[in-house]
Structure 1
Amino acid sequence: MITTEEICVPARQRVIRHVRQASLIGLAVGMGVLQAQASTGEPAPLASLKTVPVPAPPPDQLAAIVQDKRAAIQLGKALFWDTRVGSDNKTACATCHFHAGADNRVKNQINPGLLAGDKTFQLGGPNATLTAADFPLTRFANPDLAGTRGRDVNDVVSSQGVLTTLFGGIDSRGGPDRCSNVPDVVGHGGSGFSLGGVNTRRVEPRNAPGIFNAVFNFRNFWDGRGNNMTNGIDPFGLRNTDAQVWTLQNGVVRPARMTLSGSALGSVASGPPLSENEMSCRNRSFANLGRKLAGSKLLADQRIAPDDSVLGPLARNTPTYAELVKQAYRPEYWRSGVRINVATGEVQRARQSDLERSRHDRSSQRPQNGDQISQAEANFSLFFSLAVQLYQATLVSDDTPFDRYAAGNKQALTTQQVRGLTIFRGPAQCVRCHAGPELTSASVSNVTAEGRLDQRPGANNSVFRYDNGFFNTGVRPTADDPGVGGLDPFGNPLSETRMAIAGKTALLGSGFDPAKEVPVTTGAPLAIDGAFKTPGLRNVELTGPYFHNGGKSTLMQVVDFYNRGGDFTAANQPVPDPTMRPLGLTQPQKDDLVAFLLSLTDERVRFQRAPFDHPSICVPDGQEGDARAVVTDAAGNAKDVMRCIGAVGTRGAAAALPTFLRLSPFAR
């Protein structure tokens, strides 16, 4: 059984706490702009991401589960890119993260605003094709003045997933899962992902975040529900008190509590494979998926480049998933031949990661396993999530021009980019949220040193409490999407601040110590609702569209947003971050700032060089037809158009990855 590991809080935390509180006072009088800054108000020294250790689970705890880390990374890369993980055999984890760790598709990529309670498309509807003219989603007559807002839509630009279906079983011949169609028509319990009564692929309610460097985030997903401590079955860590894996102890298979810290990536990985929006027919279980893949070879329908940096050694003599699981994991997690009776639902304690309003209204929520499963099938969620975590932990882009400049090479940036860096650290106040070498205050290093709960000044000498790294920046009205202000499936707040107020800190894990945090009390002003995780900025040139709603298509549109002080900051008061106010940057300063952001692109990412190489993959790219009508397939569903991307080996591709819609980052 794996026990909770306490993350050591640095002894200097008390000193940092005083510095932080001093900086908040400085911020109140317009002096400070950086969370962890000296009393002089100067930003912290520049540092390359290479100086930051890559976060990882405690080595002894990981070794108690994983016996061959290299094999586990190979397993994780294969599972991440394998389209057969999806119920339709067309949808991999990589389907939404194939382009610089993000998604640049433009057809059938619109959600009507389900989290705002809206099922009416405004931007174009199912199977519409996005164009540059659609952006920004919220427009201003004068991009520098928030009071000139004109057209506004609450649609979200995100990623297409799967059709609305109910799971009926796996196909023993390796085909797609046997699933039954469920009408997705508004008025019949559906969400409106249909044209003329024909189901189209559902689209996620939030923009797909980039996965490169996500290992540095203390929590993952936009709303932080990807817990730092993985329980081995779903994203919710200790919050799911019923979570269990199965271990072989003295010849007997027993349920055990998995509590592995430093594993926000593993928590995230356990969500999408069973999501009815992203990858799965509803009611499929991880045990079903494990049985489906066990006897098949890795990426059987896809090509592995012979010089793939991870999978190359397996390209010619490819093992089955069951064989690689046995190589990667200790035998006490898979060796038993005893069948586990799950007729009473003992194994199915995982909770659905889909947000409540994004689910189909009419389908049952009971997963299906059959009556008996093997120990390996019962633990497949653990095998999957931990392997994907170990693979994603290798996807670190720390060789940008900015990193080289921060390391001492003063020729790495152009004169304009140096000016932009000065603006980034000064007048634009970007470092207030995009702090440290990771360029996000939601990082492991910032959260563990500064505290998971934080405070900031508000109006009339008030002090607001919030989750460190999560901010309401006025992208959308707070009522549209609660962000970290939402609830987990157990009715608990996603916000760790609210969990502390409720006295539920025992469910937070990962070394949470209330005595080392900013004290919170009932009735304290909170800046939580509508707040979202601050993303890192590396490769941001290639990862549009931007923000949790995908509402901006270029970096200049993003800079305009911050220069006017946000789109809905005034309406969202008093919750928004106090640094969200008009900046008064001139157009040349904005150009300089965009130029600096371009220095955050790692050329290995741009050209898909190791470790960012990958197997071949074909991704659904809308359906045949347009936003008025679609062509149907033999099953009566909208027929997919597939975009196929070739396998890329260690040396990368000849062509560079383009920006979203191939737009200039300076375009408005």
Structure 2
Amino acid sequence: MTPQSIATPNDAREHGLEDLSKAKLKVPQADLSQFLKPGEDAKKALLQLGKALFWAQEVGSGGSAGIPAQACASCHFAAGADPRIQNQLNPNITQVINDPQGPIIGLHKAEANPDTTFQVRQPNQKVRFSDFPFVREINQIVNLDVMSSQGVLRSEFIRTIPANPNDDCRPVDDPVFTTLNGMKVRRVEPRHSPKVINAALESFFSFWDGRANPFFNGVNSFGVQDPDAHILVAKNGDIVKERIDIPFSSLASQAVSPPISDFEMSCGVPEINNMRTWPEIGKKLLRKRNGTPIVPLGMQLVAINDSVLGDLSNYPAPGINTTYSKLIKKAFRPQYWRGGKFRVAFTDTEIQTTLPARPNVSLGTRIVDATPEELIEEDFVTEPENANSPPLTQNPRGQRFSLIEANFSLFFGLALQAYQQTLISDNTWFDQWMRSDTFNKGFGKEELKGLDVFVNKGRCINCHGGPELTKASVSNAQADNKGNPQNLIEPMKMGDGRFAIYDNGFYNIGVTPTFFDIGRGGRGPTGAPLSSSRQRLFQEKNIMKIPFQILGGAKIPAISEDGNEPVCKDNNNDGFCGFDEPLLDTFQRVAVDGSMKTPGLRIADLTGPYFHDGSAATLRQVVEFYDNGGNFCHPNIDNLDPDIRPLGLTDDEKQNLVKFLIALNDDRVRFEKAPFDHPSLTVADSGKANGSVIEIPAVGREGRQPLGLEPIGAFLGINQQEVGNFPVNSICSTNSR
């Protein structure tokens, strides 16, 4: 049957596409009434807190000896992405030993086998367009680098100092991120930095591997997968531990990971049990020193007409005219920050690392009476500040924190989530056509032909579906009002023609060999799988008792995705395979190793390089990848998505498809108009401690144009139709399997 071509917006709607300005209203929001004070003033303070903390350089370690301190925005400063080209390579430290343990366990137990040698360029060198794409020979497994974002220099964490943006850190050797002449440079993340714009709609789980859970536990990224996580609450004259699981909050879960990462924003050497902790960050940003608190954004300018922070701006002086503590107290109910006569003493620390650059810290706590000095002055400093003292994360008994400091991860996560929920590009040229059925400057006849390829011959919509253009979206998870997903685990025939279950929205598309980065196949803090599909079969087959709620585990469709194969004996005829209805032998297999979250495609023109490894420089290279049937269809066949096979697109079809993807641009993002305006920022341009920097000016709600700045453009300034050095063996075939 010949697919119906797309000619009108209604044709596109038949395939689930929509003008995002209408569709976004359907996305559920977390109910924060338990945590926030009532009224609009609290919501406004939360948003102001979130934007300030996202852009603030004082949140990160560094900031001395010519080292720009790291903000969250340091890796997301251009259309929510990172276009830098120098010292942006990781040699692929996520690689594991390729020893799968059967159809269910797969690479779950695989031991780390990091590649520490660079291939594309050496540390602190610049990439060029001629370096892309990284893969030159289809199905030929050679070492491959990852294009990502540079963060901090490898340093041991000593302490944070109240109201001082510069952490006390001690440089240590770095066996990986060192130039050929022996100079230590900034470390680079092992996966390409995803964009933050539209993340509120595109992510039921966040991060490429989905480890940022949709339920925020107030402490770390893992949500329900960390059953020991808790916050502290003042109740009945005491401070008690309390378990929270805030639904629809993967962005809050995501937010609390980078600031303590020893690759991204923080000093620390996790392998020797040394890490900066969230209460330490709270101490720096909330506690006064000599009676004076830190100035939020105190090293940066805030435009007087900033859409969120303008009313607070100190312009032309740096910073804003309030404090982080005041914003927290204005937004949150007092039981989460007013500790009265009590302090929180940390008794021990435990650092778990599931993969390099993925540390998680657990803190043992006890509640103690405040000292007389602390009662007189809440900001009293109890620990010594001698730089020769041992790192406090190795001697946690000396640390005492107020309740507001101890709960700072809760405030930080919810505030950043509130800010990111405003960053929605719902006025793209495609959206304008969908709502008017009229061609415009960015969407014409060729873009319409590209849309037809996207839906039909290209099969792009099979993974990039819905108004958000990703199956990993909040709406596609179809969660109930408590946040429990109804459409998370799918039974499907995989690329090898055999059935398996997998996590909806996460696909192995053959960008790199599966064992180079197992993605969704990784482990959480308890050692249990990240993947809901693997959790379900681990529990069912008694491979491992899962000590937390298996999201989507009881909602596996009883019939396969193609509608032909029974998945279980559906005894109650409800259409799902509940926990008491075991999967049939045909589906005793999990296909999640090497799977990555499907990113949304809106503003794709501005967010290169592409894929989880940043290995493609232009959208045309991305299209060529899919037209070829991927890079590693043969080595990845056990987990390969069935839509990854040669497409046979003509040159015109490829060009039109790229034009459609460019039509997903939003002029407000390109020109940084509200809500995409921002404070100034200094980011490293090279990996050296005292190297060159990029000064990003403050932009107000009217955007870049009043400042005489050009709009944000494509990565490397390259035409998106450029093919570059494409693989010699250009068709990926599995026939030799």
> After TM superposition, is the score higher than 0.5?
yes
Q: Name the amino acid aligned to 1:103.
A: D
| Structure-1 residue corresponding to 2:507 | 471
Post-superposition shift, 1:368? 5.0
| Structure-2 residue corresponding to 1:611 | 675
Pairing 1:573–2:637 present = yes
Residue number among 40, 58, 61 corresponding to 1:87 in the alignment: 61
Q: Name the amino acid aligned to 2:312.
A: L
In structure 1, C-alpha distance between the alignment counterparts of 2:499 and 2:439, rounded to whole Å:
43
Equivalent position SS for 2:136: strand
Residues 458/175 of structure 1: CA separation in 2 closer, same or farther (3 Å cut): closer
In structure 2, C-alpha distance between the alignment counterparts of 1:544 and 1:492, rounded to whole Å:
33
| Structure-2 residue corresponding to 1:284 | 276
| Structure-1 residue corresponding to 2:213 | 227
CA contact (8 A) 2:609 2:615 kept: yes
Deviations 1:336-365 (A, max 9, x none): 2334342413xx67x6677337779xx998
In structure 2, C-alpha distance between the alignment counterparts of 1:414 and 1:65, rounded to whole Å:
47
Equivalent position SS for 1:417: helix
CA contact (8 A) 1:470 1:532 kept: yes
Pairing 1:378–2:387 present = no
Equivalent position SS for 2:157: strand
Residues 422/515 of structure 1: CA separation in 2 closer, same or farther (3 Å cut): closer
In structure 2, C-alpha distance between the alignment counterparts of 1:172 and 1:604, rounded to whole Å:
38
In structure 1, C-alpha distance between the alignment counterparts of 2:457 and 2:395, rounded to whole Å:
52
Residues 641/353 of structure 1: CA separation in 2 closer, same or farther (3 Å cut): farther
| Structure-2 residue corresponding to 1:484 | 520
| Structure-2 residue corresponding to 1:333 | 336
| Structure-2 residue corresponding to 1:656 | 711
Post-superposition shift, 1:444? 1.0
| Structure-2 residue corresponding to 1:36 | none
Q: Name the amino acid aligned to 1:548.
A: H
CA RMSD across the alignment: 2.9
Post-superposition shift, 1:208? 0.3
Deviates more, 1:59-68 or 1:463-472: 59-68
Q: Any gaps of 5 or more consecutive residues in structure 1? A: 1-28, 34-39, 141-145, 186-190, 625-637
Post-superposition shift, 1:310? 0.4
| Structure-2 residue corresponding to 1:396 | 424
Q: Name the amino acid aligned to 1:166.
A: E
Pairing 1:293–2:334 present = no
Deviates more, 1:380-389 or 1:317-326: 317-326
| Structure-2 residue corresponding to 1:57 | 30
Residues 594/518 of structure 1: CA separation in 2 closer, same or farther (3 Å cut): farther
| Structure-1 residue corresponding to 2:188 | 203
In structure 2, C-alpha distance between the alignment counterparts of 1:612 and 1:661, rounded to whole Å:
21
CA contact (8 A) 1:338 1:374 kept: no
Deviations 1:24-68 (A, max 9, x none): xxxxx99999xxxxxx99952431112222442135445479971
CA contact (8 A) 2:60 2:71 kept: yes
Q: Name the amino acid aligned to 1:618.
A: T
| Structure-2 residue corresponding to 1:356 | 356
Identity %: 41
| Structure-2 residue corresponding to 1:497 | 533
Residue number among 616, 620, 640 corresponding to 2:691 in the alignment: 640
Post-superposition shift, 1:618? 0.4
CA contact (8 A) 2:48 2:309 kept: yes
In structure 1, C-alpha distance between the alignment counterparts of 2:12 and 2:76, rounded to whole Å:
38
Post-superposition shift, 1:161? 0.6
| Structure-1 residue corresponding to 2:126 | 129
| Structure-1 residue corresponding to 2:289 | none
In structure 2, C-alpha distance between the alignment counterparts of 1:65 and 1:199, rounded to whole Å:
50
CA contact (8 A) 1:247 1:255 kept: yes
Residue number among 417, 442, 461 corresponding to 2:472 in the alignment: 442
In structure 2, C-alpha distance between the alignment counterparts of 1:95 and 1:232, rounded to whole Å:
23
CA contact (8 A) 1:115 1:358 kept: no
Residues 417/161 of structure 1: CA separation in 2 closer, same or farther (3 Å cut): same
Post-superposition shift, 1:242? 1.4
Counterparts of residues 404-483 of structure 1 (less than 5 Å): 404-412=432-440, 413-448=443-478, 451-458=487-494, 462-483=498-519
CA contact (8 A) 1:55 1:215 kept: no
| Structure-2 residue corresponding to 1:48 | 19
Q: Name the amino acid aligned to 1:286.
A: W
Post-superposition shift, 1:379? 0.2
| Structure-2 residue corresponding to 1:138 | 135
| Structure-2 residue corresponding to 1:178 | 168
In structure 2, C-alpha distance between the alignment counterparts of 1:131 and 1:243, rounded to whole Å:
44
CA contact (8 A) 2:162 2:285 kept: no
Q: Name the amino acid aligned to 1:379.
A: N
Post-superposition shift, 1:512? 6.2
In structure 2, C-alpha distance between the alignment counterparts of 1:100 and 1:231, rounded to whole Å:
29
Post-superposition shift, 1:405? 1.8
TM-score by length of 2: 0.77
Residue number among 318, 322, 341 corresponding to 1:319 in the alignment: 322
CA contact (8 A) 1:275 1:354 kept: no
Residues 71/460 of structure 1: CA separation in 2 closer, same or farther (3 Å cut): closer
In structure 2, C-alpha distance between the alignment counterparts of 1:460 and 1:49, rounded to whole Å:
35
In structure 2, C-alpha distance between the alignment counterparts of 1:268 and 1:280, rounded to whole Å:
16
Residues 154/515 of structure 1: CA separation in 2 closer, same or farther (3 Å cut): closer
Post-superposition shift, 1:370? 3.7
Q: Name the amino acid aligned to 1:50.
A: S
Residues 59/177 of structure 1: CA separation in 2 closer, same or farther (3 Å cut): closer
In structure 2, C-alpha distance between the alignment counterparts of 1:369 and 1:234, rounded to whole Å:
22
Q: Name the amino acid aligned to 2:722.
A: A
In structure 2, C-alpha distance between the alignment counterparts of 1:194 and 1:32, rounded to whole Å:
55
Pairing 1:159–2:144 present = no
Q: Name the amino acid aligned to 2:721.
A: F
Post-superposition shift, 1:171? 3.0
CA contact (8 A) 1:276 1:354 kept: no
Residues 465/201 of structure 1: CA separation in 2 closer, same or farther (3 Å cut): same
Q: Name the amino acid aligned to 2:456.
A: G
Residues 301/527 of structure 1: CA separation in 2 closer, same or farther (3 Å cut): same
Post-superposition shift, 1:219? 0.4
Post-superposition shift, 1:385? 0.8
Residues 42/94 of structure 1: CA separation in 2 closer, same or farther (3 Å cut): closer
CA contact (8 A) 2:36 2:331 kept: no
In structure 2, C-alpha distance between the alignment counterparts of 1:571 and 1:252, rounded to whole Å:
58
Counterparts of residues 60-79 of structure 1 (less than 5 Å): 60-61=33-34, 63=36, 68-79=42-53
Residues 366/407 of structure 1: CA separation in 2 closer, same or farther (3 Å cut): farther
Query: What is the total number of aligned residue pairs between the two structures?
Result: 605
In structure 2, C-alpha distance between the alignment counterparts of 1:547 and 1:62, rounded to whole Å:
37
In structure 2, C-alpha distance between the alignment counterparts of 1:173 and 1:57, rounded to whole Å:
32
In structure 2, C-alpha distance between the alignment counterparts of 1:484 and 1:235, rounded to whole Å:
14
Deviations 1:121-163 (A, max 9, x none): 11111101111111110125xxxxx57x7x9651000000101
Residues 121/607 of structure 1: CA separation in 2 closer, same or farther (3 Å cut): same
Post-superposition shift, 1:623? 3.7
CA contact (8 A) 2:149 2:192 kept: yes
In structure 1, C-alpha distance between the alignment counterparts of 2:145 and 2:657, rounded to whole Å:
28
Equivalent position SS for 2:478: helix
CA contact (8 A) 2:532 2:553 kept: no
CA contact (8 A) 2:197 2:423 kept: yes
Residues 32/59 of structure 1: CA separation in 2 closer, same or farther (3 Å cut): farther
In structure 2, C-alpha distance between the alignment counterparts of 1:30 and 1:518, rounded to whole Å:
34
Residues 118/30 of structure 1: CA separation in 2 closer, same or farther (3 Å cut): farther
Residues 328/370 of structure 1: CA separation in 2 closer, same or farther (3 Å cut): farther
Post-superposition shift, 1:473? 0.2
